């Protein structure tokens, strides 16, 4: 009975979402205040219904209701409870439900926080979000309902959650990622509302900014978590594979990064207005495209489990409706928008323009590499794959250039910067970065990309510090007070930029200095890597809740002293008889030791893969810093004050 | 020239230069890094070039997996049930590598049409079939009919 109630709630929510898409618009056209005001309760009711059906699905997982097809495919009675709950989004149907739930969550948050928005804008924003919700609820209900039952002969046992997904990282990775991805719908909705109302002054940018920053922060965390999960769970020791699904989340991130910056210009200076609107549309379109790529199964990928053509077509139609519709609206309206303020070539506006051009170029690069195999196949030119080297050669030089400029950007003033003052500020960090790079690399083999990357990392860090000190001024008295008085927005930027440098250092050292060896090992065999000696002490059998495993024990010595005892496992999950490598990692700020157990080669000998990965934690540490920066700038007092005032 | 126009000219040329450089780099990089997929039938018919990075996929032939007793070298065959290709690889095989299972290998063909693989991929779900392989099997079957 319960699943039917959940299903019914979902159907009901579709009706409310449809109403939400039309009633406020009708009110807007007729200038009818009450109809517009309906947007708020309609949003909340839709959200509550979706939340309710989500709870029912989660409850069905918790009580092992295998009469539900989706539950029986993705759970098992032996599965630990935490994983049963995260299995709710372990498959296609459930992740889509989570997608819609988070969309509704954002919409309700806008309805709740937006009390002070002008009534017509709020109505239009919520109606736009209602349309997106309608589209995805329809997709969910017509092609991928999670409540389909297997009656009367229901299975006694479930097929179990894919062992790869039985992991803490996977409990939080999808919700974080979706929070980001889907959160860009709010900026999109503000842009659409601005276009419809023709009210394209800088206030829409101010309203959209904190929402965009928060979504961006979540997306950053989500991508970071995904990378971390891939690192320890896939057992190859890689942290980024340019897998189509990774790209699907990375493209909106790049565009979203551009959006954050162009929103700042539009808010502060009133320029780039129509560009910012376009960018908001572009960013959300990439989120939708990502959803399409992942959920339609058109791409060969680790993540693409389902391959059901009707789903692909449905979501493609949705994609065209949203992207086409909003671009049409843009084409009709954007001509009326004129940026009335001009700016100089040495101003901060120009710097942010470069930022935008480069970031959009980067996202197009990734887009091209991701879609190229599809294009090739569609033209019947054969099946191809675009390898990681493409992305690396493309990405590194452009990204390094971006960071080089990024460091200077905050030093620029609006409209115009005095070049000689700027040069004076730059000369010291330039010299120091060169020296530091030289000192760090003195015992290394010379390589351009390494040298430039390291230089850029130092350059960014030094300039962040210099900018901060400059803002504090020379007066030594009360600098603490001054430091406190600087806006959160500013600290957010500093921390996020610092995070970029930290990640760059991680990426650099991992790519250049990682050591890896694959060896045959029997009892007491040893292998030495980067000064660490790994001694194999044999393998024992252990039994987990829903798997059995061979667990190796390996002692690690450095300079004759034991530094770690590591236990990588080879698991066999019983429900699917699926084999899984569980790597053992000894983590450290400056290096990770990483061991994964390969196949059993004979009675006592195993294949073993050993890595030493310097600075790998820095990659994710930088990601955390960036996310913190994003959250901090969204919490700036300015937004609270401004949103309290009517404009 | 009028200062506003001059400014605009500089801005636009800067944009063009960046985009031009990006497109050039992109095409160059793409050219270097496209890996075409070949089925075992295509290889036995001599369609695939030697010494170029390609991808080959098929089902691992039962009983064809041969391990070197002293190193991590391994040799096996993949088939689309019409023809088979020999593959040599040195390293750890993925968890889902098994006889009768679909895999994709990336590497270069040598003179004897043996693929010297640098990477062997098996998918993360035992029910999942890489689309290239499904396609290759399909084509080989149609030809046989």
Nearest CA in chain A to B74: A601
Share the mean pLDDT of chain B: 82
Residue labelled with tokens 């990965």: A613
Cβ-based neighbours of A224, under 8 Å, separated by 6 or more: A619, A620, A623, A624, A627
Which residues of chain B are within 8 Å of residue A357 when distances are taken between CB atoms?
A: 15, 18-19
Interchain CB distance below 8 Å, A162 and B67: no
| Least confident among A69-73, A242-246, B5-9, B100-104 | B5-9
Nearest CA in chain A to B6: A345
Nearest CA in chain B to A161: B125
Distance CA A228, CA A207 (A): 33
DSSP collapsed to 3 states, A526-589: EEEECCEEEEEEEEEEEECCCEEEEEEEEEEEECCEEEEEECCEEEEECCCCEEEEECEEECCC
Cβ-based neighbours of A541, under 8 Å, separated by 6 or more: A548, A549, A550, A551
Nearest CA in chain A to B124: A302
Question: Cα distance from B111 to chain A (closest Cα, Å)?
Answer: 23
* Residue-wise burial string across A310-335, b where 16 or more C-beta atoms lie within 10 A, e elsewhere: ebbebbeebbeebbeebeebbeebbe
Residue A638's nearest CA partner among A270, A205, A343 is: A205
Distance CA A557, CA A534 (A): 7
This prediction has a pTM of 0.91
Least CB–CB distance from A365: residue in B22, B35, B126: B22
Long-range residue pairs from A29-35, CB within 8 A, at least 24 positions apart, any chain: A33/A119
Interchain CB distance below 8 Å, B130 and A300: yes
Residue labelled with tokens 């310097």: A614
Least CB–CB distance from B37: residue in A358, A384, A390: A384
Question: Cα distance from A315 to chain B (closest Cα, Å)?
Answer: 20
B43 neighbors B24 (Cβ within 8 angstroms): no
Nearest CA in chain A to B14: A354
* pLDDT reported for residue A488: 87
Which residues of chain B are within 8 Å of residue A609 when distances are taken between CB atoms?
A: 92
Chains A, B: CB pairs < 8 Å: 110
**Is residue B123 very low, low, confident or very high in pLDDT (cuts 50, 70, 90)?**
low
Question: Cα distance from A49 to chain B (closest Cα, Å)?
Answer: 34
Q: Which of B21, B38, B72 to mutate to test the interface with A (most CBs of A within 10 A)?
A: B72
Strands B102-109, B54-60: pairing kind? antiparallel
At A322, list the tokens.
């949203």
* pLDDT reported for residue A647: 35
Q: What is the pLDDT of residues A548-595, one digit of tens each?
A: 999 999 999 999 899 999 999 988 888 777 788 888 999 999 999 999
Distance CA A412, CA A349 (A): 9
* pLDDT reported for residue B69: 83
Give the number of other Cβ atoms within 10 Å of residue A418's Cβ: 10
* pLDDT reported for residue A643: 44
Which residues of chain A are within 8 Å of residue B29 when distances are taken between CB atoms?
A: 389-390, 393-394
* pLDDT reported for residue B128: 54
Distance CA A206, CA A569 (A): 52
- Terminus-to-terminus CA distance in chain B, angstroms? 74
Interchain CB distance below 8 Å, A361 and B22: yes
The dihedrals phi and psi of B15, each to the nearest 5 degrees, come to: -60, -45
* pLDDT reported for residue A496: 95
Distance CA A411, CA A471 (A): 10
Q: Which of A384, A547, A601, A610 to mutate to test the interface with B (most CBs of B within 10 A)?
A: A384
Residue A496's nearest CA partner among A220, A268, A241 is: A220
Q: Which of B30, B40, B49 to mutate to test the interface with A (most CBs of A within 10 A)?
A: B30
Distances (CA, A) of B110 to B23, B113, B120: 34, 5, 17
Distances (CA, A) of A379 to A384, A595, B134: 12, 43, 19
Q: Which of B26, B66, B102 to mutate to test the interface with A (most CBs of A within 10 A)?
A: B26
A251 neighbors A289 (Cβ within 8 angstroms): yes
- Ranges of H-type helices in A379-414: 388-408
A298 neighbors A251 (Cβ within 8 angstroms): no
| Least confident among A3-7, B25-29, B44-48 | B25-29
Distance CA A454, CA A508 (A): 8
Distance CA A370, CA A300 (A): 11
Is 80 exceeded by the pLDDT of residue B54? yes
User: DSSP secondary-structure letter at B80?
Assistant: -
Distance CA A38, CA A27 (A): 9
Which residues of chain A are within 8 Å of residue B36 when distances are taken between CB atoms?
A: 382-384
* pLDDT reported for residue A338: 65
Which residues of chain B are within 8 Å of residue A386 when distances are taken between CB atoms?
A: 30, 33-35
Distance CA A593, CA A616 (A): 10
Question: Cα distance from A354 to chain B (closest Cα, Å)?
Answer: 8
User: DSSP secondary-structure letter at B82?
Assistant: S
At B72, list the tokens.
């991590």
Q: Which helix (H) or strand (E) holds A257?
A: helix A244-269
A219 neighbors A239 (Cβ within 8 angstroms): no
Q: Which residues of B touch A (CB under 8 A)?
A: 4, 7, 10-11, 14-15, 18-19, 22, 25-26, 28-30, 32-37, 53, 55, 67, 69-72, 90-93, 95-96, 123-126, 128, 130-132, 135
The dihedrals phi and psi of A591, each to the nearest 5 degrees, come to: -160, 145
* pLDDT reported for residue A306: 43
Q: Which residues pair with A536 in a beta bridge?
A: A554
Question: Cα distance from A475 to chain B (closest Cα, Å)?
Answer: 39
Give the number of other Cβ atoms within 10 Å of residue A241's Cβ: 17
At A354, list the tokens.
């470069």
Architecture of domain A1-153: Up-down Bundle (1.20)
Interchain CB distance below 8 Å, A607 and B10: no
Question: Cα distance from B30 to chain A (closest Cα, Å)?
Answer: 6
The three-class DSSP label of residue B125 is coil
Query: Could you report the average pLDDT of every consecutive run of 10 residues in chain A (647 residues)?
Result: 92 95 92 89 96 95 90 88 89 90 95 86 94 94 88 80 80 90 94 87 86 95 92 83 87 95 88 88 92 70 50 82 91 73 79 90 89 78 79 88 90 84 88 88 76 92 89 69 83 94 92 87 90 92 89 92 92 81 90 89 87 93 96 83 42
Residue labelled with tokens 């399409």: A292
- Terminus-to-terminus CA distance in chain A, angstroms? 50
Which residues of chain A are within 8 Å of residue B15 when distances are taken between CB atoms?
A: 357
Long-range residue pairs from A63-68, CB within 8 A, at least 24 positions apart, any chain: A64/A158, A65/A2, A65/A3, A66/A150, A66/A154, A66/A155, A66/A156, A66/A157, A66/A158, A67/A3, A67/A149, A67/A150, A67/A151, A67/A154, A68/A3, A68/A146, A68/A147, A68/A148, A68/A149, A68/A150
The domain limits of chain A are: 1-153, 178-338+353-404, 515-618
- Ranges of H-type helices in A198-236: 203-233
């Amino acid at each position: 009975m319960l699943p039917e109630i959940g299903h019914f709630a979902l159907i009901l929510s579709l009706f409310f979402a449809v109403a939400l898409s039309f009633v406020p618009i009708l009110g807007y056209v007729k200038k009818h205040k009450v109809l517009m005001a309906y947007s708020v309760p309609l949003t909340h009711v839709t959200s509550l219904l979706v939340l309710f059906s989500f709870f029912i699905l989660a409850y069905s997982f918790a009580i092992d209701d295998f009469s539900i097809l989706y539950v029986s495919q993705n759970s098992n009675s032996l599965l630990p409870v935490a994983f049963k709950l995260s299995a709710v989004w372990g498959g296609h149907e459930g992740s889509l439900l989570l997608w819609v739930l988070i969309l509704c969550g954002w919409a309700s948050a806008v309805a709740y926080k937006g009390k002070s928005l002008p009534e017509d804008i709020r109505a239009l924003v919520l109606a736009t979000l209602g349309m997106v919700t309608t589209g995805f609820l329809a997709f969910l209900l017509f092609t991928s309902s999670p409540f389909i039952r297997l009656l009367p002969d229901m299975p006694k046992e479930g097929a179990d959650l894919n062992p790869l997904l039985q992991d803490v990282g996977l409990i939080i990775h999808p919700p974080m990622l979706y929070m980001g991805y889907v959160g860009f719908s709010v900026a999109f909705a503000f842009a659409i509302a601005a276009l419809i109302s023709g009210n394209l002054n800088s206030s829409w940018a101010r309203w959209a900014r904190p929402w965009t920053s928060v979504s961006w922060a979540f997306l950053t965390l989500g991508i970071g978590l995904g990378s971390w999960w891939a690192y320890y769970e896939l057992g190859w020791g890689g942290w980024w594979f340019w897998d189509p699904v990774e790209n699907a989340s990375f493209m909106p991130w790049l565009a979203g990064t551009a959006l954050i910056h162009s929103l700042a210009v539009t808010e502060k200076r009133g320029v780039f207005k129509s560009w910012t609107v376009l960018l908001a549309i572009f960013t959300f379109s990439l989120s939708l495209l990502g959803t399409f790529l992942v959920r339609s199964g058109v791409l060969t990928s680790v993540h693409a489990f389902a391959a059901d053509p009707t789903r692909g077509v449905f979501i493609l139609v949705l994609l065209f409706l949203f992207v086409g519709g909003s671009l049409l609206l843009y084409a009709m309206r954007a001509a009326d928008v004129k940026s009335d303020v001009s700016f100089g070539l040495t101003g901060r506006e120009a710097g942010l323009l470069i930022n935008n051009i480069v970031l959009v170029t980067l996202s197009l690069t990734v887009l091209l590499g991701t879609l190229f195999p599809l294009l090739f196949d569609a033209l019947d030119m054969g099946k191809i794959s675009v390898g990681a080297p493409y992305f690396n050669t493309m990405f590194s030089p452009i990204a390094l250039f971006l960071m080089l400029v990024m460091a200077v950007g905050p030093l620029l003033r609006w409209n115009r910067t005095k070049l000689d003052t700027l040069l004076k500020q730059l000369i010291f960090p330039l010299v120091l970065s060169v020296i530091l790079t030289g000192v760090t690399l003195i015992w290394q083999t010379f390589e351009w990309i390494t040298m430039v990357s390291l230089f850029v990392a130092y350059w960014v860090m030094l300039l962040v510090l210099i900018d901060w000190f400059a803002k504090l001024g020379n007066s030594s008295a009360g600098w603490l007070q001054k430091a406190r008085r600087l806006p959160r927005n500013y600290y957010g930027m500093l921390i996020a930029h610092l995070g970029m440098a930290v990640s760059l250092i991680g990426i650099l050292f991992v790519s250049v200095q990682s050591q890896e060896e694959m060896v045959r090992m029997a009892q007491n065999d040893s292998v030495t890597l980067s000064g660490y000696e790994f001694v194999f002490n044999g393998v024992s059998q252990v039994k987990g809740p829903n798997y059995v495993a061979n667990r190796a024990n390996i002692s690690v010595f450095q300079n004759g002293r034991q530094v770690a005892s590591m236990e990588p496992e080879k698991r066999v999950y019983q429900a699917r008889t699926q084999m899984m490598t569980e790597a053992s990692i000894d983590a450290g700020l400056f290096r990770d030791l990483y061991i994964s157990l390969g196949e059993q080669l004979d009675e006592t000998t195993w294949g073993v893969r050993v890595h030493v990965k310097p600075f790998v934690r820095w990659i994710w540490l930088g990601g955390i810093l960036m996310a913190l920066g994003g959250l901090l700038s969204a919490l700036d007092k300015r937004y609270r004050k401004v949103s309290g005032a009517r404009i | 020239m009028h200062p506003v126009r001059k400014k605009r000219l500089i801005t636009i040329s800067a944009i063009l230069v960046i985009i031009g450089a990006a497109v050039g780099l992109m095409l160059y990089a793409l050219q270097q890094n496209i890996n075409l997929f070949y089925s075992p039938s295509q290889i036995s018919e001599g369609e695939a070039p030697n010494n170029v990075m390609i991808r080959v996929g098929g089902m691992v032939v039962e009983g064809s997996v041969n391990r070197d007793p002293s190193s991590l070298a391994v040799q096996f065959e993949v088939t689309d049930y019409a023809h088979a290709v020999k593959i040599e690889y040195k390293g750890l095989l993925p968890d889902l590598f098994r006889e009768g299972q679909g895999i994709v290998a990336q590497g270069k063909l040598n003179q004897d049409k043996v693929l010297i693989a640098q990477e062997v991929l098996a998918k993360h779900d035992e029910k999942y079939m890489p689309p290239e392989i499904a396609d290759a099997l399909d084509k080989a079957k149609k030809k046989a009919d």
